[in-house]
Amino acid sequence: MPKSFYITTPIYYVNDRPHIGHASTTVWADVQARYRRMLGAKTLFLTGLDEHGMKVQQAAEKRGVSPQQHCDEMAPHFQSLWKTLNISNNAFIRTTDSHHKKVVQDFLSKLHAAGQIYKKKYHGWYSRAAEQFVTEKEMVDGKFPAHLGEVIELEEENYFFKMSAHQEWLIDYIKKNPEWIRPENRRNEVLGTLQRPLEDLCISRPKARLAWGIPIPFDPEYVTYVWVDALVNYISAIGYGEDRFNECWPADYHLIAKDILTTHCVYWPTMLHAVGLEMPRCILAHGWWLFRDEKMSKTLGNIVNPLNLIGRFGADAVRYFICRELQLGTDTDFSEERFLQRFNADLANDLGNLVNRSLSMLQRYRDGVVPEAGGEEKFDEELKQSINETYGAYRSAMDQVKYGLALESVWKLVTRGNRYVDENAPWKLAKEATASKRLDTVLNHLVNTVAHLARFIAPFMPSIASKIESQLLTPGLLDKRNERLEVFYVGALTAEFFQVIPTGHKIGKPEPLFPRQAKE
Ligand code: ME8
């Protein structure tokens, strides 16, 4: 049986409600999952919640409730946001699930039995916000960076994983697999970290200091370090230790942002290597949303609530903006002005207008019935050429999770389509008795272009795509006709695939897709 395509997001801390950063990684993963399903791949898309550790314990204490009650009350905020954003995950994990706890304990026992764990006394700096021991090397101008929050001095006896023993192997693996950590600047960052000797990883916390965690199976006085607990979610959710595990592992993509690069590119691979598991195929870290030049984060409290944007602009517009603007290699300033610009220019004006005028003209001039196309002219060839190029560019960008590029290629086609309308001026053709055949061709080409566009935007804006399909009165038409999907496999559109809407088909009533929004 072919392996399922398996994609994950980080599991988010439940110390606070989700913000646009969490929404972004989840949307990125969703777009990829929808794209893979469109290609016909069996797809597992996992997201979830990281519910143990100091941060969560403290958040619960602050609210005067038990940690479990706190988690149970926070989880619905994430789940309902995913629903509102049309997230199509088919697996959801909470690290307080009993199955997950058992897998973490089995995993630790395995590491222990393999001689990969030992106990020692440790003295150092600890960031509560990152739930990590940090070193003075991370200080800038004598201070720890703001996103680490309060950093305290600590001395403790703990269990350690022999991470340093895997350093040479890891360096070698990264060098031999250039596409494993993406983008390249993040890969270089990891290689840079690995130039210094790796320290062993502290994997336990004394219960006296932190009670809220999974007990260490070989010492009841300790709980598991939250990052070890959290990373194991990627295998516990797909049945590690059971036959079904091999249907999904290795993961095709772990999507993260750059803040959790070390945990995913150093801790996780060395842990996997220590128990002899295969590596995930790609760890892909996008940049951060900044807000006035600072990282947007719960710790800093400068967050944008996605629900406000969804309320005003709709989930699809938010999804589009996240995929169009958030970058892989660099950080992006979040600005509402930019959002409005994108909404008005790309969505309402370019895409919305093309779809609406194409369908309205077909309705007005041919009573909504798709006419037969006739002789090809220069403009027609150019339009088809543009669709053809879009398939190639889109496919290769999507395969690599380069959404900015994929959308750029689609919007080139949108622009080409709008130009095609202006070049052919159907409203003029409609007035000339001798131009009737030509008008047929133009209307046919426009309605087919709209159908192709619906397919391209579907992973990004699933509701808008299905709105277009229902205006075309073809819901599911492209899905049902498997042969039409072939263009996605070959990455090119041959003439026979252009005509996706049959001649004689009657479309429905055109309606605006995006009402224009003025600045508030
Ligand atoms: O780190 N810009 O959880 P977390 C873009 N529980 N993305 C952002 C962002 C920003 N400003 N802020 C957050 C944890 N994110 C751990 C993960 S995984 C085994 C355990 C997104 O709630 C981004 O994906 O702090 C980032 O990596 C993640 O949220 C961190 O979420």
CATH number for the domain harbouring residue 443: 1.10.730.10
What is the phi-psi region of residue 504: left when phi exceeds 0, alpha when psi lies from -120 to 50, beta otherwise?
left
Question: Percentage of the chain surpassing pLDDT 90?
Answer: 75
Rounded Cα distance, 230 and 219, in Å = 19
Taking residues 156-179, what's their average pLDDT? 97
pLDDT, position 517: 67
pLDDT, position 496: 54
In DSSP terms, 224 is beta-bridged to 204
Taking residues 310-327, what's their average pLDDT? 96
Q: Which of 7, 17, 20, 25 to mutate to test the pocket of ligand 1 (most atoms within 8 A of CB)?
A: 25
pLDDT in tens, 128-145: 777 778 888 888 888 898
* Residue pair 253/401 in contact by the 8 Å Cβ criterion: yes
Q: Which of 50, 52, 259, 323 to mutate to test the pocket of ligand 1 (most atoms within 8 A of CB)?
A: 259
- Is residue 433 a part of any domain in this protein? yes
- Is residue 444 a part of any domain in this protein? yes
| Residue 209 pLDDT level (bands cut at 50, 70, 90) | confident
What is the phi-psi region of residue 425: left when phi exceeds 0, alpha when psi lies from -120 to 50, beta otherwise?
left
Question: Percentage of the chain surpassing pLDDT 70?
Answer: 94
pLDDT, position 141: 87
Among the listed ranges 51-65, 67-81, 272-286, 471-485, which one has the minimum average pLDDT value?
471-485
Assign 271 to helix, strand or coil: helix
Among the listed ranges 112-116, 427-431, 495-499, which one has the minimum average pLDDT value?
495-499
| Residue 357 pLDDT level (bands cut at 50, 70, 90) | very high
Question: For residue 314, what is the DSSP state?
Answer: -
Maximum Cα interatomic distance, the chain, rounded to a whole number of Å: 92
Over the chain, what is the mean pLDDT? 91
Rounded Cα distance, 213 and 67, in Å = 10
Q: Which residue has the higher pLDDT, 388 or 4?
A: 4
- Is residue 459 a part of any domain in this protein? yes
Which ligand 1 atom sits nearest the alpha carbon of residue 230?
Answer: 19
DSSP of 162-182: -GGGGHHHHHHHHHH-TTSEE
Cα–ligand 1 centroid distance for 147 (angstroms): 12
For the CA atoms of the chain, what is the radius of gyration? 26
Rounded Cα distance, 335 and 342, in Å = 11
Taking residues 270-290, what's their average pLDDT? 97
Q: Which residue has the higher pLDDT, 173 or 479?
A: 173
- Is residue 213 a part of any domain in this protein? no
Q: Which residue has the higher pLDDT, 496 or 261?
A: 261
pLDDT at position 154 over 90: no
Cα–ligand 1 centroid distance for 258 (angstroms): 9
To which residue do tokens 């008005």 refer?
344
Taking residues 346-361, what's their average pLDDT? 97
Burial class (CB in 10 A: 0-12, 13-18, 19+), 500: buried
Burial class (CB in 10 A: 0-12, 13-18, 19+), 445: buried
Number of domains in the chain: 1
Instruction: Verify whether ligand 1 is closer than 6 Å to residue 328 (CB atom).
Output: no
Q: Which residue has the higher pLDDT, 6 or 495?
A: 6
Start-to-end Cα distance in the chain = 54
What does pTM read for this prediction? Answer: 0.94
Q: Is the peptide bond before 306 cis (omega within 30 degrees of 0)?
A: no
pLDDT, position 34: 94
pLDDT in tens, 185-194: 999 999 999 9
Closest protein CA for atom 14 of ligand 1: 12
- Is residue 226 a part of any domain in this protein? no
Closest protein CA for atom 9 of ligand 1: 21
Burial class (CB in 10 A: 0-12, 13-18, 19+), 404: middle
- Is residue 425 a part of any domain in this protein? yes
Cα–ligand 1 centroid distance for 26 (angstroms): 10
| Residue 489 pLDDT level (bands cut at 50, 70, 90) | very low
- Is residue 486 a part of any domain in this protein? yes
Closest protein CA for atom 2 of ligand 1: 288
pLDDT in tens, 63-94: 999 999 999 999 999 999 999 999 999 999 99
Which ligand 1 atom sits nearest the alpha carbon of residue 25?
Answer: 24
Rounded Cα distance, 487 and 384, in Å = 13
Q: Which residue has the higher pLDDT, 45 or 15?
A: 45
| Residue 482 pLDDT level (bands cut at 50, 70, 90) | very low
Q: Residue 364 is part of which domain span?
A: 335-498
pLDDT at position 235 over 90: yes
- Is residue 391 a part of any domain in this protein? yes
Rounded Cα distance, 26 and 141, in Å = 35
pLDDT at position 477 over 80: no
Instruction: Verify whether ligand 1 is closer than 6 Å to residue 95 (CB atom).
Output: no
Taking residues 500-506, what's their average pLDDT? 87
pLDDT in tens, 326-345: 999 899 999 889 999 999 99
Cα–ligand 1 centroid distance for 27 (angstroms): 13
pLDDT, position 493: 46
pLDDT at position 146 over 50: yes
pLDDT, position 484: 46
Q: Which of 24, 186, 268 to mutate to test the pocket of ligand 1 (most atoms within 8 A of CB)?
A: 24
pLDDT, position 165: 98
Instruction: Verify whether ligand 1 is closer than 6 Å to residue 223 (CB atom).
Output: no
Give Cβ neighbours of residue 118 (< 8 Å, ≥ 6 apart): 159, 160, 162
Q: Which of 11, 14, 498 is nearest to 229 (CA)?
A: 11
Which ligand 1 atom sits nearest the alpha carbon of residue 260?
Answer: 27
Assign 264 to helix, strand or coil: helix
Cα–ligand 1 centroid distance for 110 (angstroms): 28
pLDDT, position 352: 97
